[in-house]
Amino acid sequence: MKKLVTGHQRFRDHAFAEHRELFERLASGQRPQALFVTCSDSRISPNLLTQTDPGDLFILRNAGNIVPPHGACASGEAATIEYAIEALGVRDVVVCGHSHCGAMRALVEGGTEALPSVERWLELAAPTRRVITTCYRDCDPEVQFNVAIQENVLQQLQNLRTHPAVAGRLAAGDLRLHGWVYKLTTGEIFAYDAREGQFRPLGEVPVGAVARRPAATDVLGP
């Protein structure tokens, strides 16, 4: 806790003072550029990864960057998505998974019996597990794990489309969905390229709507 307290003191005395005009402007309202859906993992810092400022990203975080399908459960995820789309008018939604994801390893390998809440939560990602057991059952376990991380991003994009607010804006042509995977060991982000049907380095993928399919490939291995 000492690190948190002293960090806040530095923020108040230096960063806040340096950016006072920005924070004063944000106090009157927000207009974020994107809804950023990512994992709760402490190693992921969306603003640091994208070099964005406070007010730029509306962030939704949970274990495994999972988006429950519309109607699956009454959830904070559904409320956050609806608010971002309808009230804040974001034009882009990013689902960002990451390498070394504990939730995805648990999804593929199991071992969550002592964590019943986690086990129930991961059932929302059951389609990802089925893709791995069906299409990648003969692959090395680490390849299965890395592909699961990518497949899960694609599945959550599919789930996003089931939310009425998202479906309406997509039909109107004024909302774009993006699938990203962040690699912890290199700092790279790979984005899903609908034209190629695979993840490629972010800078090589044109900004645009993400369409589902063909399968992911292992871009996260050594």
- Domain identity same for 99 and 151: yes
Question: Are 13 and 51 part of one and the same domain?
Answer: no
Tell me what pLDDT residue 158 has: 95
Going across the sheet that includes 57-62, the strands are 57-62, 34-39, 92-98, 176-182, 189-193, 198-201
Q: Which two tokens stand for residue 36?
A: 């950023």
pLDDT digits (tens, 9 = 90+) for 13-50: 998 989 899 999 989 999 999 999 999 999 999 999 99
Do 96 and 159 belong together in one domain?
A: yes
Nearest to 98 by CA among 157, 153, 178, 176: 153
For the stretch 44-96, pLDDT in tens is: 999 999 999 999 999 999 999 999 999 887 689 999 999 999 999 999 999 99
Same domain, 122 and 96: yes
Identify whether residues 35 and 21 lie together within a single domain. Answer: no
The answer for residues whose C-beta is within 8 angstroms of residue 87's C-beta and 6 or more apart is: none
Is-contact 132 151, C-beta < 8 A?
yes
Q: Is residue 79 part of a domain?
A: yes
Using CA atoms, how far apart are residues 35 and 85, in angstroms rounded to an integer? 8
Q: ∠ CA(88), CA(205), CA(45), 5° rounding?
A: 55
Q: Identify whether 199 is part of a domain.
A: yes
pLDDT at 209: 44
Residue 73 is predicted with a pLDDT of 76
Residue type, 104: M
Which CATH number characterizes residue 91's domain?
A: 3.40.1050.10
Tell me if 212 is assigned to some domain: no
In terms of domains, do 137 and 151 share one?
yes
For residue 195, is it within any domain?
A: yes
Check: CB of residue 59 under 8 Å from CB of residue 84. no
Rg of the chain taking only CA atoms, in angstroms: 18
Backbone φ/ψ region at 51: left (φ over 0), alpha (ψ -120 to 50), beta: left
Q: Does 186 lie in the same domain as 150?
A: yes
User: How would you classify residue 64: left for phi > 0, otherwise alpha for psi between -120 and 50, otherwise beta?
Assistant: left
Residues 83 and 24 in one domain: no
Domain of residue 10, residue span:
1-29
Q: Does residue 164 fall inside a structural domain?
A: yes
Q: Is residue 210 in a domain? A: no
Together in a domain, 107 and 198: yes
- The pTM of this model reads 0.90
Residue 179 is encoded by which pair of tokens?
Answer: 């699938």
Both 23 and 101 in one domain: the answer is no
Average pLDDT over residues 175-187: 96
> How many domains is the chain built from?
2
The reply to whether 2 and 98 lie within a common domain is no
Per-residue pLDDT averaged across 184-211, rounded?
A: 86
Q: How many residues does the chain have?
A: 222
Same domain, 59 and 135: yes
In a domain, 213, yes or no: no
Separation CA 38–CA 152 (nearest Å)? 11
Q: Tell which wins on pLDDT, 27 or 216.
A: 27
User: What's the rounded Cα separation, in Å, for the pair 208 and 194?
Assistant: 9
Q: Look up residue 70 and give its DSSP letter.
A: T
